[in-house]
Structure 1
Amino acid sequence: MTDPAHDVDTLRERALTTLTTARARTSLLTSCVEDPDLTAQHSPLMSPLVWDLAHIGNQEEQWLLRTVAGREAIRPEIDGIYDAFEHPRAERPSLPLLPPAEARHYAAEVRGRVLDLLESTAFHGTRLTEAGFAFGMIAQHEQQHDETMLITHQLRKGPQALHAPDPEPAPLVTGPSEVLVPGGPFTMGTSTEPWALDNERPAHRREVPAFYIDTTPVTNAAYQAFIADGGYDDDRWWTPEGWAHVRQHSLHAPLFWRRDGKQWLRRRFGVTEVVPPDEPVLHVCWYEADAYARWAGRRLPTEAEWEKAARHDPAGDRSMRYPWGDADPEPEHANLGQRHLRPAPAGSYPEGESPLGVRQLIGDVWEWTASDFAPYPGFQAFPYKEYSEVFFGPEYKVLRGGSFAVDAVACRGTFRNWDYPIRRQIFSGFRTARSGDV
C-alpha cells in the first residue's frame, strides 16, 4: 500500500508549495530595504543580501535546470562568483555581483523555468529525482538562506525593516522542569524521509542510557541569574578554549544585550527592548551554553539524547518524525517560518510536546548539543561532499530543533545543523540535561 505522504501527486504539490513559500520569504527579505542595504556588507560574518539572492537562483539553476533537466546554462559566467566554497563571506562584497534588479530578474527567470520543469519531471528514475528529492533539496537550500538573510537583518544597523506579530503569551507552566527519558535503544536518523539530507541518513539503532532533560529551553531569566552570579568571571564553568574566548572578546552577556541600570536591554531587528524574562535565551555560543550548564550543575544533552527526547515514543517503541507524531508542523505545534520574529515564551505549544512532556523541541531556538558533527554509521555523501562531509570533525558542534527563522521544510526531528562553538549571531539557545543515575 502506498504511503499517501509519498504519493507522487502529493510530493509534487508539496514541492510547488515549499518552493513558492521560500520565494515569498526571499522576496520579502530583499524588498523591505533599499538597494544600498542589499549591496552593503552588514557584518564580515555575513554576505551582502544581494549575494544570497543571486546565489539562491544560481544553485536552483545548476541543480534543477542543468543537472536534472540537462539544459544549457543561463549565466555560466557567474557560477564562480556565487560558489560559496570559492569565496569566503568577507570577500564577497568585492566580487562583481549582479546588482539588485539584475539579481531579481535572474532568480525569477530561473524559477519560471523550474516551475515548468516541476510539472513534467517524473519523480523516479534517479536518486535526484526520486520522490522529488532535488526540488525538496532546493526548497530547503533557499529556506536556509532565508534564515541566513534574517540573521543579516538582525546585524544590520538602522531602523526596523521587518514586522511580524508576536507569539501568544504562554500560560504559566505548572509541570516538572525536567523529565526522565528511559534508557535503552532507539532508532536515530532516517532512511525513509524522502527529502532528508545525507547527514540525517541512514537510520540506525543507538543505545542511550537514561537521562533527564529540561522540559523547556533555558530562559532569559535563568541565564540572567548565571550572569548575576558572576558566571562570565569564573573560570570554573568554562572549558579552557571557552575561557580564552570569553577573555579575548570581553564577553559578559548574550550578543545584542546591554545593561541599562538594573535591567537588561537587547536590540532585535532595529528595535531596542527590555529582555523578556520568559523567552528562551537567544544568541549564545556553545561555550556560553556549556558554561551555564556547568554552573547549574548539569550539562548539555548529547545529540543522540536530544533526538531520543524529540522522537522516541516509549509506548510504541518507535521513532516519530516530530515530537507530536508524524504529521507535518502546524502553527499550534511550533514557532517556525518567520511568522514571528522572536522565540515564543518557554512552555508554549503544548500540542507540540513529546510523549514525555518535553516542549519546544522544534522551532523557537536552535539548541546546542554536546556533540561534535560526525557521520552516522553507513553515511554516504549525496549529492555532493560539500554539503556535509567536509564539515565532519571536532571543529563543529551540532545544533538541533530549528528556530523561529526556519521553515518546516528545513526542520524535522532528524534534521542536523552545525556551527563553530564561537558563533553567536545565529538564532541559538539550549536546554540542559543530566544523567539518569544522578
Structure 2
Amino acid sequence: MTVQHLPGSDHSETERLRERIAETLARARRRTVGLTDCIDEAELVAQHSRLMSPLVWDLAHIGNQEELWLVRDVGGREPVRADIDHLYDAFQHSRADRPALPLLDPGQARAYVGTVRDKVWDVLERSPLRGSELVHDGFAFGMIAQHEQQHDETMLATHQLRTGEAVLSAPPTPAAQVRVSGEVVVPAGEFSMGTDDDPWALDNERPAHPVHVPGFAIDAAPITNEQYLAFVDDGGYERPELWSERGWAHRVEAGLTAPQFWEQDGGGRWWRRVFGVMQPLRAHQPMVHVCWYEAEAYANWAGKRLPTEAEWEKAARFDPATGRSRRYPWGDADPDDALANLGQRHLEPAEVGAYPAGASPLGVHQLIGDVWEWTSSGFDPYPGFRAFPYREYSDVFFGGDYRVLRGGSFGADQVASRGTFRNWDHPIRRQIFAGFRLARDLRADEI
C-alpha cells in the first residue's frame, strides 16, 4: 500500500517525517498481508497452538488498536466498529479462549483493517505532528507501527508452529564474512542506559539514566547450534545439577530434551524444522527456540552466566572513544541489509560473522537481529519511569514472572529493534525466536 495523496514537493522536516511515517506504516501492512494471505480461511481461523491466537484475531486486533489510537484519539473521528472493542482487547480474553469468541471472519477482518487504514491516511495528512505528547514527532503513529510489527512477529511464530505444507519463502541468509569467536572485555564504568531523545521509544525504555557496570566479559557472538549441541551430547538435559529447581521441574514436566523444532534421525543426525521444511542443523548459526531455563542450564554447564540487561545494553551501545551511548551498536543510522538480519528478509538467523559492519565499537557481533537474547534480568521499571500513553503496555507487567530479552530477531522489524528496546516473556517460553549469549565476571588478573 502506498500513500498517493501525501505532499511530494514540500521537503520540510515535518513533511519528511510524514513520509517516513507513511512508509513505516505501509511496510508493516505489507508484511501483515503477506502473513495472512498465504493461507486459506480455514487456517486463518484455526488455533495452531494454545499459546497463540488464531491469525484472524491478530489481523483484526491490529486494526482495532490502529482505530483506537489513530482514528479516534489522534484523529478525533467517529468509531468504525466500537462494538468489537471487547473482542480484541488482549486483557479481556486469553489466547487460549479467543477461538470461541464471535470474531470477524477473514473477509470482514480484511475489510475492517482496510477501512481503518484509509481513515488513518487522512488523519496523517492532516496531523501537524507536533503539539500534544501523543502526536509530537509522530509518536502515536510510531507506536502503532511498532505494535503491528510486534504482532507480525507473533504471527510469524504462529506460522512456525503450524503444520502442513510450507507457505512462506525467503532468500537464504548471507554467508559469514569474518570469523567470530571468544569473548570481549567490557571495561568497568558508567554509561547512559535507556533514552530520552528517541522520539518513538516506548515508555519502558525511558528515561535515560546513568548505570555503573563492573567490568565483565561477554561472548562476541550468540551461542551457535554447534555449541549448544555439545551441551545436548554431554547429557545437559539429564543432569539436574545444571538446572535451577524451577528450571528442572519445568524440564521434567514439559519433557524437554532439545531445543524446540530440533529432531534427530535414526542415524543420529540432527535436523531443525524451519517453517515446515526440515533442514540439517547448521553448525555456525545462532541457535533459536530455547526457553530461559535452557539458557540458564547451558550457562551453568559452560561455567558462565547470562548477562544482565545493563551489561547487554552497555556491550551494545557504549562507545569507549566518546563515552556516549549509541542508538545501535554500529552508530545512530537506521539498520540496512549490511548491518543486521531484521524484517523477515530471511526466515532464520544468519551464521555468526555475517554482519561485521554491524558490530559494536568493542567488537561484539550480531547484537541486533538474528535472535532475541535472554538476559538474567527481570522486567522492572527504570528510575523515574512514567507510564505513557497507557499502563497496559508496560506497567502492569513489571515485577511479574518475566525475563528481559534484547536485540530483536530475524522476525523483528527495525522500527521495533534498537539498542534500548526491551522485550520480555515468561522463562518457559520457547516458541519465540530467542537464543542467548553468555557473560562472566572478570578474574582479578583481568581487572
User: AA paired with 1:214?
Assistant: D
For the 8 Å contact 2:371–2:433, the answer to whether it is kept is yes
For the 8 Å contact 2:225–2:285, the answer to whether it is kept is yes
- Residues in 2 aligned to 1:262 and 1:395: alpha-carbon distance in whole angstroms: 37
Match of 2:374 in 1: 368
Residues 1:78 and 2:84 aligned together:
yes
> Could you tell me how far 1:172 is from its partner in structure 2?
4.9
User: AA paired with 1:95?
Assistant: L
Match of 1:221 in 2: 226
For the 8 Å contact 1:186–1:206, the answer to whether it is kept is yes
Alignment of 1:405-424 (within 5 A): 405-424=411-430
User: AA paired with 1:311?
Assistant: R
Residues 1:45 and 2:60 aligned together:
no
* Matching residue within 201, 204, 225 for 1:196: 201
SS of the aligned residue for 2:211 comes to: strand
> Could you tell me how far 1:10 is from its partner in structure 2?
2.8
**What TM-score comes out, normalization by structure 1 length?**
0.97
Residues 1:255 and 2:260 aligned together:
yes
Change (3 A) 1:176 1:365: closer
- Residues in 2 aligned to 1:230 and 1:172: alpha-carbon distance in whole angstroms: 31
* Matching residue within 22, 27, 38 for 1:21: 27
Residues 1:337 and 2:343 aligned together:
yes
> Could you tell me how far 1:394 is from its partner in structure 2?
4.5
Deviations 1:143-187 (A, max 9, x none): 0000000000000000100000011111350x5511100000000
> Could you tell me how far 1:11 is from its partner in structure 2?
2.1
User: AA paired with 1:392?
Assistant: F
Match of 2:3 in 1: none
Deviations 1:231-261 (A, max 9, x none): 1111111111001000111101000111112
- Residues in 1 aligned to 2:412 and 2:122: alpha-carbon distance in whole angstroms: 27
Match of 1:179 in 2: 184
Match of 1:57 in 2: 63
Match of 2:210 in 1: 205
User: AA paired with 2:34?
Assistant: L
Match of 1:112 in 2: 118
User: AA paired with 2:237?
Assistant: Y
- Residues in 2 aligned to 1:18 and 1:10: alpha-carbon distance in whole angstroms: 12
User: AA paired with 2:217?
Assistant: Y
- Residues in 1 aligned to 2:102 and 2:387: alpha-carbon distance in whole angstroms: 32
SS of the aligned residue for 1:393 comes to: coil
Residues 1:136 and 2:136 aligned together:
no
Deviations 1:414-435 (A, max 9, x none): 0000000000000000000011
Count of aligned pairs: 432
Match of 1:3 in 2: none
User: AA paired with 1:201?
Assistant: R
Alignment of 1:89-104 (within 5 A): 89-104=95-110
- Residues in 2 aligned to 1:333 and 1:205: alpha-carbon distance in whole angstroms: 27
For the 8 Å contact 1:343–1:365, the answer to whether it is kept is yes
- Residues in 2 aligned to 1:107 and 1:376: alpha-carbon distance in whole angstroms: 35
- Residues in 2 aligned to 1:229 and 1:49: alpha-carbon distance in whole angstroms: 39
RMSD (Å), alpha carbons: 1.0
Residues 1:241 and 2:240 aligned together:
no
Match of 1:145 in 2: 151
Match of 1:430 in 2: 436
For the 8 Å contact 2:218–2:307, the answer to whether it is kept is yes
User: AA paired with 1:250?
Assistant: G
- Residues in 1 aligned to 2:361 and 2:177: alpha-carbon distance in whole angstroms: 20
Match of 2:7 in 1: none
**What TM-score comes out, normalization by structure 2 length?**
0.95
Change (3 A) 1:103 1:176: closer
User: AA paired with 1:102?
Assistant: Q
> Could you tell me how far 1:265 is from its partner in structure 2?
1.2
- Residues in 2 aligned to 1:24 and 1:248: alpha-carbon distance in whole angstroms: 40
Match of 1:393 in 2: 399
Q: Which runs of 4+ in 1 moved over 6 A?
A: none
SS of the aligned residue for 1:266 comes to: strand
Q: Report the more deviating stretch, 202-211 or 175-184.
A: 175-184
For the 8 Å contact 1:363–1:402, the answer to whether it is kept is yes
For the 8 Å contact 2:177–2:355, the answer to whether it is kept is no
SS of the aligned residue for 1:105 comes to: helix
For the 8 Å contact 1:210–1:437, the answer to whether it is kept is no
> Could you tell me how far 1:48 is from its partner in structure 2?
0.4
* Matching residue within 256, 269, 272 for 2:275: 269
- Residues in 1 aligned to 2:246 and 2:388: alpha-carbon distance in whole angstroms: 33
> Could you tell me how far 1:88 is from its partner in structure 2?
0.3
Match of 1:350 in 2: 356
User: AA paired with 1:240?
Assistant: E
- Residues in 1 aligned to 2:227 and 2:34: alpha-carbon distance in whole angstroms: 34
For the 8 Å contact 1:348–1:359, the answer to whether it is kept is no
Structure 2 unaligned regions, length at least 5 = 1-11
> Could you tell me how far 1:7 is from its partner in structure 2?
3.7
- Residues in 2 aligned to 1:10 and 1:327: alpha-carbon distance in whole angstroms: 16
For the 8 Å contact 2:387–2:395, the answer to whether it is kept is yes
